[in-house]
Structure 1
Amino acid sequence: MNVLTVHNLSKKFDHQVVIENLNLAIKEGEFVSILGPSGSGKSTFFNLVGGILAPDSGSILLNGETINGKRGFISYMPQTPSLFPWRTILQNVLLGQELHGKTDKEKAIHMLNKAGLGDYLSAYPDELSGGMKQRAAFIRALLSPGSIICLDEPFSALDELTRHEMQNWLLSILDDYRKTVLFVTHNIEEALYLSDRILILSDKPASVVKEVIVPFTRPREESLLLEEDFFKWKRDIHLVLKGLGSDSNGKND
């Protein structure tokens, strides 16, 4: 069953066409990454799915219902954790549920404990490290009632070791709490390691130019990153992006 379906989506700003006739479908429980050249419209696409922007044409369907220009239907986690500094960590992760009128404090505490944040329920964001803040922000998105989570380069500001730690943590959490995830990243390695499928966008105006079905089984182990087959897939995707005029080499930009 498709959770998210996008038909012939187009969006322009003034005379600049950013997205044109974009089509995709995300199945329930899938982890799908979006890769593309810098400035190709990935964040604009997320703003359209989240209802922050309305498309000029085309349709966005969530569980069969058109949500063009409608907010509150998805869970969204931006590049920065965006935790409210005056709320405790527990209060922050419950925010999405509060906005929908129902909270499950017991579940939130359980998930924070699993995330290694059990000792920080009453702490404030400025008392946490960058990785801990990202964990709290993801728990908030996971607890929100939306049927799909949109993650916009959530690990791009973290150092290499912390990013790998967060990737492994995210995989372990999703093994227990399977959710449908749409993930924007510039990092080829990250996309391959986390995803079931990768959609590669063209430069502006953005459309899907290639779909990669990731062949690696779950659960994923970090040793996968050093396997020859992993490097081959990484190289092949890099060549596709290079052909689109991208300067991506597997690193964030």
Structure 2
Amino acid sequence: MSNLELVNLTKKYGETTILNRISLTVRNGEFVSIVGPSGSGKSTLFRLIGGITSPNSGTIKLNGKEIIGKRGFISYMPQSDSLLPWRSILQNVVLAAEIAGRKDELEAKRMLERAGLKGYENAYPHELSGGMKQRASFVRSILSPQPVICLDEPFSALDEFTRLDMQKWLLAMWNEHQRSILFVTHNIEEALFLSDRVIVLSARPASIKKEFTIPFSRPREEALVLSEAFLEYKKRIYQELRAANG
């Protein structure tokens, strides 16, 4: 059974159509990235999946159950780290599990150590760098009980080298925990390096223009991004995005 299933989702704001008949699935343990022109509705799609708003038509199912307008069924990590400044890092990462009644500080401390944050458990967000805060946010997502994690350009504010380190760390954590991830990015290289599939959206009103199944084996090494096969896929996705921008 597919973990997350979207069928013919259409969303309008007034007379403006943002999403037009979007259909996609994210299978159990799969990493799927979405790329598209700016303003094509990628964040709107996450708001629909998270139950923050409802579509004008179409269905959203998680493990076969309708979740339209229902919150708490997916874990959502926005572009900003969204850590609560009055809670320590440990208190922040156990928050989602705490709300669900599944708080486990021992596991949280183990995860923070894996994230390179050992010794920062009692620190506060303002004491951490941008990359450290993003790692803490992702640990919180992993510790939440939801089977699907939606990541909305989580590394966009990081420099190139920190971003690559975060990508490798994310893949290591994802490989260990095998959660389903739906990932939004403007960076084609990032989408290719991380994903099992890459979905290209058209300009608004957004529809699925093309889907690429990524053949590279895992685990993925940094050298992959300079390989001929990788660069060929990057070129193909770039051409689709150029066409999507008109």
Counterpart CA distance in 2 for 1:133 and 1:218 is 26
**1:212 aligned partner:** 212
**Secondary structure at 2:3 match in 1:** strand
1:4 pairs with 2:17: no
**Secondary structure at 1:149 match in 2:** strand
CA-CA distance at 1:230 after TM superposition: 0.7
Counterpart CA distance in 2 for 1:16 and 1:91 is 41
**Superposition map of 1:1-253 within 5 A:** 1-245=1-245
CA-CA distance at 1:54 after TM superposition: 0.7
CA-CA distance at 1:229 after TM superposition: 1.1
**Secondary structure at 1:22 match in 2:** strand
**What's the TM-score, normalizing by structure 1?**
0.96
Counterpart CA distance in 2 for 1:179 and 1:34 is 17
Counterpart CA distance in 2 for 1:31 and 1:14 is 33
For 1:182, give the aligned amino acid: L
For 1:148, give the aligned amino acid: V
For 1:139, give the aligned amino acid: V
**Secondary structure at 1:136 match in 2:** helix
For 2:185, give the aligned amino acid: T
Give ranges in structure 2 of 5+ residues lacking alignment: none
Counterpart CA distance in 1 for 2:28 and 2:245 is 32
Give ranges in structure 1 of 5+ residues lacking alignment: 247-253
**Secondary structure at 2:183 match in 1:** strand
The count of residues paired between Structure 1 and Structure 2 equals 246
CA-CA distance at 1:102 after TM superposition: 2.0
**Preserved contact between residue 188 and residue 234 of structure 2 (Cα < 8 Å):** yes
**Secondary structure at 1:117 match in 2:** coil
Provide Cα deviations, 1:33-85, integer angstroms capped at 9, x if missing partner.
00111111000000000011111111100111100011010000000101001
**Secondary structure at 2:235 match in 1:** helix
Counterpart CA distance in 1 for 2:226 and 2:4 is 33
CA-CA distance at 1:142 after TM superposition: 0.6
CA-CA distance at 1:23 after TM superposition: 0.5
For 2:22, give the aligned amino acid: L
CA-CA distance at 1:245 after TM superposition: 1.2
How high is the sequence identity, in percent, across the aligned residues?
A: 57
Provide Cα deviations, 1:81-123, integer angstroms capped at 9, x if missing partner.
0100110000000000111122111111110011111110000
For 1:112, give the aligned amino acid: L
**What's the TM-score, normalizing by structure 2?**
0.99
CA-CA distance at 1:240 after TM superposition: 0.6
Counterpart CA distance in 2 for 1:58 and 1:168 is 35
